[in-house]
Structure 1
C-alpha cells in the first residue's frame, strides 16, 4: 500500500471524521424513522463515503492488475438495474453453522436443521426482521472430528448472531424457542445505537469469558447447554454460495474467496474456517440473500471501536476486535479484480469504491443511517 505524508493522512482523517459525524444537509436525501434513525434514501445521502482519489490516491480508480482469477466466459449478470435501496430492512442476522456450501432451495426446509426450527418459530421473533442464513462455518461436531460433511443436523451446532458479534454455542432444534426469547430478542439490532463503551469480560490470561449480557446491558437468559462467546474477528465478509438458487453464486464465491485471501494474507488479516486468532477477517459462504442476478453478492460487517470511523489501518494490524457491528456494507456485481480495493477501502476503511454500480445498501449504527 503506498505511503502518504503526515499532512495528507491528517487531512484524510479530518475529512473522514467530518463525513461520518456531520448529518446530511439535504433534507430530501434522508427521512427520519420512528426509531430515531434516518433512511438514506439515495446515494447522494452518503450512507457510506465513496473513495476519493484526492484523498485515497489514484489506486482507488483502478482494479487489480495482478489478478489471475477470472469468472467463466459465460458469467453474465444484470448490469442495468439500479441497486441502491432495493433490499429489505432487517434487525438481526443469524448465521447457522452447517459445514456445507449448498443447501435446499429454502434453508428453512432443511429437515432436522436449526434453520428449520427458526423458520417454524419465526413468529416469536421481536424487534424486527431476523435474516436467517445457513453457512459453511464448521459445526461443533466438525471441530471434534466427528463431522460427516452433511450438516450433522442431529447434533448441536453453533450460530453467529449479528450485529451483536456473538457466537451461540450448543444450539439444537429443541433449544431454538428459548434461544429466540431469551437471547435473540434481547440483543441489539441494526437500528439501535452502538453502546457508548463496548467491553467484553476477559479472564486473567486474556481469553474471553462466556457473555451473560449484551454490551448495552440487557440481561440474556440462555436455555441449559447453550453459551455465548464473542466472535474474535474484526471484520466479516459473507458471500452467497448457494448453487441451488443460481449457479453463478456457486461459481463466484470460491473464486472471490481465493482472491480475497491473496490480498489479506500479506496484511496478516486472513482467517481460515476455524481460525480463532483475535482480529482479522472471517470469510464465510452463506445461503441465498436475494438478487442472484447481480452476482456476486457480498456483505461486509465491520465492528465498532476499530476503524469504523474511517481511520487508516496499519499494515499487519490484527489486534483483537471489540464491540458490536457498526456497519454492514452490502455490495453486488463483485468481480475478482475488484477484491484488492474492496479489502483496502471497504473492509478496512468503510468506504465504497464503486457505489453507483455495486452498493445495494446496509446500515451504519454510528451515524444512525440505514438504506431501508
Structure 2
C-alpha cells in the first residue's frame, strides 16, 4: 500500500508546532494509522486516478494553511440544485434570498463581532436541492436555508422577510443561553437538520477551475466510502444521522484546492481542510466522519478549526 506520508505530501506541506498545538485543542491529532478496510488497496488505486488530475493543477504547497480562512459564526447555505454559478454567486439576482442574506451579513458583521464563536457571518449557495415545484422558489424569491453550525433549517424564507427574520433570529443563535430545541418550538418556520454532518466541497468553476475540476472527484470518493460505512444519504433518503456531501460556491483560497468544510453536529466542530486529494477521502471519512470523537491525521491540511457551543 502507498505510504501515508506519500499520500498526503508531507514533504511539500508543512506546519509549525504552535499551529499543531492550537489545532489539537479542538480536535485530537492521531498518529496517522489507517482504519481502511481489507479492500483498501483496490479503493486507493482507483482514487489515485483522481490524484493524477490533482497533481496536474497549480496548487500552492508552500504557504502554511493554518489560519488562511475564517470560521463563520453563522453560515447560511442556500440550495440552488447547481454545482456552478456566476462569479459573484450570491449577488447574481438582487431579488434572491441569497442576495438579501449576503447583504444582511455584510451590514451586520461588525455588530456581532464580540459575541459567539467564530469570526464572521457568511452566506453560500449550494447544490442542495431546491423545491422545483414552487414557483417562488424557482424565481429565487423564496427558499429553505440551512443554518450551520446550528444544524437547523429556515423553511420557506422569502426575500422580503430576510432582514426581519435575521434581525430577530441571529442574536438568539449567538446567545450563550441558546437552546436549539426551544428555538425550534418558538418558530414554526424552523426545523432541525437530521444529518450528523455536512461536508461542503467548493466546486465554483467560474471563479477558479481548480476547485471545479477536483470537486466531482472528491464527491464521488466521499459518496462511495460513506456507502461502505452506511452513512451515505442522497436527496431522497431521509434516514437520520447520515452525512450530506454538497457542492458550494467560492470559499476563498482556490490556490489551496481542493477546499472541504466539515461541519459536525456533535461535537459541534468545524474542520476546514485544504489541499484535499481523492486519496485523502477514506481517511477523512474513517477518522473524522465515522467516530463519535473525530481524529485528525494531518494538521498540515487544516485551514481553520472551530469549536462551537453545545446546544
Q: Shift of residue 152 of structure 1?
A: 2.1
Residue 250 (structure 2) pairs with residue 288 (structure 1): yes
Q: Shift of residue 341 of structure 1?
A: 0.6
2:138 partner SS: coil
Summarize the Cα distance change of 1:354–1:287 in structure 2 as closer, same or farther, 3 Å threshold: same
Within 5 A, what are the aligned runs for 1:1-372? 42-45=19-22, 46=24, 47-53=26-32, 56=33, 65-68=44-47, 69-71=49-51, 72=53, 74-111=56-93, 112-122=95-105, 123-124=107-108, 126-128=111-113, 129-140=120-131, 142=132, 144=133, 152-188=138-174, 200=181, 211-213=184-186, 227-304=189-266, 308=267, 326-349=268-291, 350-356=294-300, 358-365=301-308
Summarize the Cα distance change of 1:162–1:57 in structure 2 as closer, same or farther, 3 Å threshold: closer
Note if contact 1:67-1:336 (Cα within 8 Å) is conserved in structure 2.
no
Q: Shift of residue 130 of structure 1?
A: 0.9
1:361 partner SS: strand
Runs of 4+ in 1 over 4 A off after TM superposition: 56-60, 192-195
Note if contact 1:159-1:168 (Cα within 8 Å) is conserved in structure 2.
yes
Q: CA RMSD in A?
A: 2.9
User: Could you say which structure has the larger radius of gyration?
Assistant: 1
TM-score with structure 2 setting the length:
0.79
Task: Judge which range, 160-169 or 358-367, deviates more.
Answer: 358-367
Give 5+ residue unaligned stretches, structure 2: 1-16, 114-119
Q: Shift of residue 67 of structure 1?
A: 2.8
Q: Shift of residue 185 of structure 1?
A: 2.9
Give 5+ residue unaligned stretches, structure 1: 1-28, 30-40, 202-209, 214-219, 221-225, 309-325, 368-372
**In structure 2, how many angstroms separate the alpha carbons of the residues matched to 1:327 and 1:52?**
20
**In structure 2, how many angstroms separate the alpha carbons of the residues matched to 1:139 and 1:289?**
21
Q: Shift of residue 303 of structure 1?
A: 1.2
Which is richer in helix? 2
TM-score with structure 1 setting the length:
0.67
Residue 11 of structure 1 corresponds to which residue in structure 2? none
**In structure 2, how many angstroms separate the alpha carbons of the residues matched to 1:147 and 1:167?**
20
**In structure 1, how many angstroms separate the alpha carbons of the residues matched to 2:237 and 2:169?**
25
Output one character per residue of 1:21-40: Cα deviation in whole Å (capped at 9) or x when no partner.
xxxxxxxx9xxxxxxxxxxx
Q: Shift of residue 120 of structure 1?
A: 3.0
**In structure 2, how many angstroms separate the alpha carbons of the residues matched to 1:119 and 1:265?**
34
Residue 8 of structure 2 corresponds to which residue in structure 1? none
**In structure 1, how many angstroms separate the alpha carbons of the residues matched to 2:236 and 2:122?**
23
Summarize the Cα distance change of 1:351–1:91 in structure 2 as closer, same or farther, 3 Å threshold: same
Summarize the Cα distance change of 1:275–1:147 in structure 2 as closer, same or farther, 3 Å threshold: farther
**In structure 1, how many angstroms separate the alpha carbons of the residues matched to 2:207 and 2:125?**
13
